[in-house]
Structure 1
Amino acid sequence: MFGENKGITLALATAFISGFAVFMNKFAITFWQNSSVFTTAKNIIVAVLLISVIILFGKIKELKSLNRNNWLKLILIGFIGGAIPFLLFFKGLSMTDSVNAAFIHKTLFIWVAILAIPFLGEKLYKIQILSLAIISLGVYLFVSPANFSLGTGELLVFGATILWAIENIIAKKILKEVSPIVTSWGRMFFGSLFLIAFIILTGNGGALLDISFAKFGWLMISGVVLFGYVTTWYSALKFAPAGVATSILVLAFPITAILNSIFITHKIPFKIILPTVILAFGIILISPTTNRLKKYAEQKLQKRPNTV
């Protein structure tokens, strides 16, 4: 129970980081003509930060002890989690509104919950299905049909979301054997290698070296934020059920919406209060702690002597 609570706390931290990151990257990406170059440069910085942490905390021994299967999974995570979806997501983000991108990305919990049933053996009980429906309603209420359209940018973000869902399933499996920090490094290191190859093959290799002071500043900020995201997220995924952890990530959406309202629209976001309450209620319902309390109450009622 302590481990799951730790995972839930880390997932909450990841949600706050994610909400800020989606909003911030909308500005950072404007300094780059090519979103793929921005993504590659940012991920390289994160990979360097992670290898520094691995060396600093003596995790090199763990790297040396990894077996062939572990390495293959890390490479796969790097490709479908740290490379292709980043290209799709940031290209889509450059073509759509940051809130729309956040909305699509926050459907991640649905796809992870579905995939976790056959591949991780996680179960969906009636109360969990109800909570998923409630969370879905909360996410939907953030974007009214009048303000949301499904264009090329949105489709690219959706493709990235599906790949990240698959990545989470693979990561959940490898985290049984490999630490979160090493798994994070594998995602970003191998992902960066794939991204560098893509940039060179598309003739944009020189753009990686064309970095102004402003670009470098945004890269460092984005890199540190992504570093925080990936390390807290894999730690959360190690301890909490995949379906629960990804459900908590939807709280990033109101964070992005609030930032967008404050700095872009300059309007007090009263309309997000109800959706946020709905999201919080759905997340509480799906929490393992809530399910345990429910079972505990049922057991107490069964043991109560019949006084009639």
Structure 2
Amino acid sequence: MSSLHKGINLALLTAFISGFANFINKYGLELWDNSSVYTTAKNIVAAVLLTVTVLAVRNFPEIRRLTRKQRAQLVAIGFIGGSIPFLLFFRALTIIPALEASFIHKTLFIWVALLAYPFLKERLSLMQLAALGLLLLSVYLGGAPQTFTFGAGSLLALGATLLWAVENVFAKRILQDVSAAVVGWARMFFGSLFLLAYLAVTGNITQLIPATLPQAGITLGVGVILFGYVISWYAALKHAPATVVSSVLVLATPITALLNGLFIQHAFPAPILLSLAVMIGALLILLERPQGLFLKRQTTPSHNT
């Protein structure tokens, strides 16, 4: 299996995990009074699991060999991707309907493509640009809110999405020289430290310990899912272009819709079929010649995994 195909397969796995995470997260928000405390708690669980993983696969010698610049970049990843956008997005979920926040987040691939062109030199053909348009249409067909009021909550969700887009592009650069396991660990470890600092400043850090068994259970469960998401996502990003990885992640939308239909509405969500058909068609067009999306300056793949 080529590195590119490995990246695409990992992106598919990430989309599957993300679909479940989107569905389960709303239950976590209902059990916790403070969205910032909830997102910090689950992120800490993921950070602990990633730390154990780094220890198990003996990545710490690699961390010790990192340059000062690389270490600063990893801290920045924690700030840009592992802390601020989580605070923004989960706060948005308490202000606007989850459907509206999810729709905004699903435009991530558009922002990544716009940033990847100048900063990663990922070139899109006219057909691939058309595929991105079809992908956006599929997101609209599969879950656009019937009424859309662009207010404070929408701005928070958009801000989080833009920061995650920046993270995708920035991480892709770092992943040329640093393993996916170390970058993923840094994202959640340093991100959790920033989140803890935020809770300390706002006086909410005492709420971090779960008060009930359901709170503890949902936090552990979502933390494990987030751990799997970060591991597979960064591995996918190392092997495939950022535009491809972020586009494939859109497949999480019909998975969430299916789970919501079956377990909440107790009916098969038929409207997702058209959305899924358009989505798959768009991805097939985009993935027809994905090699052209690679970094122009990338000559040989890194041996880090």
Please, what TM-score do these two structures have when normalized by structure 2? 0.92
Cα shift at 1:144: 4.6
Q: Secondary structure at the match of 1:270?
A: coil
Paired residue type of 1:157: A
Query: Is 1:257 aligned with 2:257?
Result: yes
Cα shift at 1:180: 0.6
Residue pairs, 1:131-142, within 5 angstroms? 131-142=131-142
Cα shift at 1:257: 1.1
Cα shift at 1:99: 2.9
Residue 303 of structure 1 is matched in structure 2 by none
Cα contact 1:261–1:268 (8 A) shared by 2: yes
Cα contact 1:22–1:98 (8 A) shared by 2: no
Q: Secondary structure at the match of 2:104?
A: helix
Instruction: Provide the rounded CA distance (Å) in 2 between the counterparts of 1:218 and 1:255.
Output: 20
Instruction: Provide the rounded CA distance (Å) in 2 between the counterparts of 1:241 and 1:291.
Output: 8
Paired residues, number: 292
Structure 2 gaps, min length 5 = 293-305
1:216-241: CA deviation from partner (whole Å, max 9, x where unpaired) = 11111010000000010000000111
Cα contact 1:176–1:238 (8 A) shared by 2: yes
Instruction: Provide the rounded CA distance (Å) in 1 between the counterparts of 2:6 and 2:131.
Output: 21
Paired residue type of 2:259: L
Task: Quickly say closer, same or farther: Cα 1:216–1:158, change in 2 above 3 A.
Answer: same
Residue pairs, 1:38-53, within 5 angstroms? 38-53=38-53
CA-based RMSD of the aligned residues comes to 1.6
1:127-182: CA deviation from partner (whole Å, max 9, x where unpaired) = 11111011011111123552444343332111100000000111000001111110
Instruction: Provide the rounded CA distance (Å) in 1 between the counterparts of 2:3 and 2:144.
Output: 38
Query: Is 1:152 aligned with 2:155?
Result: no
Task: Quickly say closer, same or farther: Cα 1:38–1:165, change in 2 above 3 A.
Answer: same
Residue 178 of structure 2 is matched in structure 1 by 178
Cα shift at 1:289: 4.6
1:23-53: CA deviation from partner (whole Å, max 9, x where unpaired) = 1000011111101001111111111111111
Paired residue type of 1:191: G
Q: Secondary structure at the match of 1:127?
A: helix
Cα contact 2:47–2:192 (8 A) shared by 1: yes
Larger Rg: 1
Cα shift at 1:189: 0.6
Paired residue type of 1:241: P
Paired residue type of 2:240: A
Residue 21 of structure 1 is matched in structure 2 by 21
Residue 80 of structure 1 is matched in structure 2 by 80
Cα contact 1:99–1:256 (8 A) shared by 2: no
Identity %: 50
Q: Which runs of 4+ in 1 moved over 4 A?
A: 288-292
Please, what TM-score do these two structures have when normalized by structure 1? 0.91
Paired residue type of 2:250: V
Instruction: Provide the rounded CA distance (Å) in 2 between the counterparts of 1:25 and 1:85.
Output: 15
Query: Is 1:62 aligned with 2:62?
Result: yes
Paired residue type of 1:159: G
Residue 7 of structure 1 is matched in structure 2 by 7
Cα contact 2:99–2:144 (8 A) shared by 1: no
